[in-house]
Structure formats: C-alpha cells, structure tokens
Amino acid sequence: MRILVTGGAGFIGSCVADTLIGAGHDVRILDVLLPAAHPAYPSGRPGYSADLDLRVADVRDRSAVATALSGVEAVVHQAAMVGLGTGATDLPDYVGINDLGTAVLLEAMADAGVGRLVVAGSMVVYGEGRYLCRRHGAVRPGPREEADLAAGVFEPRCPHCAALLTPGAVEEDAPLDPRNVYAATKVAQEHLASAWARMTGGAAIALRYHNVYGPRMPRDTPYAGVASLFRSALERGIAPRVFEDGGQRRDFVHVADVAEANRAALAATDRPGFRAYNVASGQVHTVGEMARALADALGGPEPVVTGEYRLGDVRHVTASPDRAAAELGFRARWDFEAGMKEFAAAPLRG
C-alpha cells in the first residue's frame, strides 16, 4: 500500500515510517522540517528511513498536499505542533498547524478519493484522568485551583464535596475535557476527522498517545517531552527538576510500540467511520519514578523535587489499553524499566 505519513521526519513520525516500510508498504513523507523540532541537517534532510521519499512542505499548503497525495491509498497524519509551548504567542501556530493543517489535508483527501486515515491523537484530550470519590463515585474534577497548587496541594478535589480523589485508568468513552491550547487543538483534530469520515464514507482512527519516549526524541526545546528534558539535564551533570511533588501518574509508552500501533490501526481502516484508541503501556508510573530511573541508568545526580507547577498541567492521566488490544490486536511490548535503560543510551536529536 502507498501511504503518506505527514510529519514523517519527526520523532514519532519517522519511527512510524520505518515500521511501515519494514512491513512492506510504500511510504511517502510530507514534513515542513520546523526548526523547533529539527536541527540543521548537514545534508539538508533527515535520513532516518532507508527508502525516504520526502516532500518538504507545510501541511497547510493545499497544492503541496494534493501533489503528495497522488497515488496514495492511506494517510497517517502525524504532523503537529506538540507540548504546552511557550505562551500565548504560540496560539496561532498551534491552531494553524494542528487544526487548519488537518482541515486542508482532509479536504485534499476527499478530492483525491483517499478514504483511509490514521491520525495522531493524544491523552491530553481527556484533561484530568478518571477519578473516584468515596462518597460520590466516578467524578470529573475541574481545573486545579492556583491557590491549592501554590500551597502544595496537588491532588484534584471532588467537585461535590471537595474531598481528595483516587485516580484510575481512563477509557476512550470518557468525556473530552481539554485543559490547554494544545489539548483543544487535538480535540478539534478528532472532531474534524470524525466529520470527514461521515461526509465521505471514509475510515478514520485516532490514536491517543500517552507519554511517548524513545530514540530520536528532540532535546532541549520548549516542545520536547519531559523524558527528553530530564535526560538532557542528566547528560550535562544537572539534576532533573521534577515539578509538583513528583507524584503525577502517567503511562510511559515506547515509540516502537507507538509505531506498531499505527501499523495495526492502518490495517483496521477498511471499516468506515471514526474510532479512537488509547495507545498506552498499561503500566502506571510517576514522573518522579521516571526521573529516578533515568538518573540511575545514567549514573547522574538524584532528581530534585521542586514544588513548582504550571497552570494547564493535569495531575494524573493513565489509560486502559483494552480497546486497542481487543479491536486492533495491539498491546505494548516494552517494559518500563527496560525502556528507560534503552532510552538512557539512545540517540536524541538536536
């Protein structure tokens, strides 16, 4: 199958492209090579994939997207601006790249008669994860109050009785509750993909990635993942700075597993309609545990728990991987401890 991978020169996209090539697919890549995510390559282009058909263009460029779709049977849409960014000045770029870019792509797919789509979603669409209150059962806490955060009270409270809550694993049918601009754009991407599937009779699958780590992560940018930031600090002999109390619960999933989830999802796009899946390991670890695992693997200084916080961050979000296992036949293979040891020595970008 000939597949267009948007953002296919990036961290996750390049691993997806390599996995699809390894599975025998003919892969074409569309990537604008944003400086925030890509260093200045000596050759002018990255060389991750053995058979790299790279079109350097913006996903918002209608003409370039239409040309890249020529002869394509399916699209794996990874192109996006990620992370919390640097402030309000990032707002137009997040909305433009993530949402307008997706709309341009979907329009071009409809014109070209391409009816199979896998889109990179994110756990951020859930906001806070699943919580239980002893008195009120399953509840959806609102955004944490800045006064609580400043006082070191990081756990969300029950919206009915203000009691502290017990976190659990979120499933795909949970209400979407974006807590920052990036999250809002990822929700919009899913809605656009769902509307496109209804309008065209196409098949769209959104893969809600949890905390992805692994080789080729970008280093030292405002858009890098926390695992990359911690590792970069340790390589400089600096203790990782862990926000809040380090107890934030996350699901860390290796990029090789994410790439395999994309391959499995692509095989399921023979069924029309829209469907979302968590892409997660099913293993719960805290941000503090991840920092310590990297420090141990690199022999670096112990992490420093700072008590600092960022408005818009969520406290806990971990996922059930059961739907992906049952419907896509996908389960993550990488164990947390082995993955962190591998990541500590893996090449980064930048």
Instruction: Give me the active site residues, please.
Output: 182
What is the rounded CA–CA span in Å between residue 3 and residue 268?
Answer: 14
What is the rounded CA–CA span in Å between residue 251 and residue 280?
Answer: 6
Q: What φ, ψ does residue 116 adopt, rounded to 5°? A: -125, 125
Distances, alpha carbon 288 to alpha carbons 37, 38, 44, 48, in Å:
25, 28, 38, 32
Q: How far is CA 293 from the centre of its chain?
A: 21
* C-beta of residue 121 within 8 angstroms of C-beta of residue 190: yes
What is the rounded CA–CA span in Å between residue 91 and residue 30?
Answer: 23
What is the rounded CA–CA span in Å between residue 73 and residue 83?
Answer: 30
Q: How far is CA 217 from the centre of its chain?
A: 12
